[in-house]
Amino acid sequence: MNGISPQLQALDEQVQNKLEWRYEMRREAQEILPGLYVGPFQPSWRLATLQALGITHILCIAESREQHLFSARFPENFVYLILEMRDADDQNLIRIFPQTQAFIDSAIAQGGRVLVHCGDGISRSPAVVTAYVMCKSGLSHEDAFTFVQSRRFCVAPRTEFQHQLEAYGPIFAANQTMAADAGAQAGQRARRRGREDEDEDEGMGESGMDMDREIDTDMTQRKPVPQWGVGLAA
């Protein structure tokens, strides 16, 4: 691949699941990252297809008028997360990214496989998956989208969603930095508490030794108490 960033080229070489695109494949789901698929609603209706792909979790991005079509059809077979989101410029995709990423991470950590779908698999679900690729790979929104599109050629998030993906990059990076700083500060506080506890233990040990010495000195300086019948005048 010519004219692409080294990061994108490295990810592209690492994830060998590109296909020769055919038009009818737009109604199927494609694997973007290992265990992560994106597509339209049709595969979510086909139990045999889902089982053949090894799907365990289904993330559906639907608007209210679509939810009767995209309800959890096989709740005994799969874990579902259904989020309401219209394919419109006034929709805030960024607000659902933490929830969608946590759902995908949890599924993959358990050895599962996730299908992310919306109505046609062209705008909303690819935008969600692009955000996930950005977070996991560190790619820019342009490179992450190029990577997703190389696996599902028909994806085309609306322009407003692309702007939100561009804005999300710095937001995610800032959150990561804040989390790292918070973790470092927590570690410093824990180490400081550990040192203070050690100093306190040492201080208590020294105080105890001083007290023992004082008691010993006091005991040696005391006059012996006469015993009954011993050393007393008759």
**Strand order, beta sheet including 114-117:** 30-33, 36-39, 114-117, 57-62, 79-84
Phi, psi of 71 (to 5 degrees): -70, 170
Query: Contact, 116 vs 36, CB < 8 A?
Result: yes
The 3-state DSSP class for residue 181 equals: helix
118 is catalytic: yes
d(C-alpha 104, C-alpha 98), whole Å:
10
Strands 114-117 and 36-39 turn out to be parallel
Query: Contact, 155 vs 84, CB < 8 A?
Result: no
Single out the catalytic residue among 60, 118, 135, 154. Answer: 118
Q: Which of the residues are catalytic?
A: 118
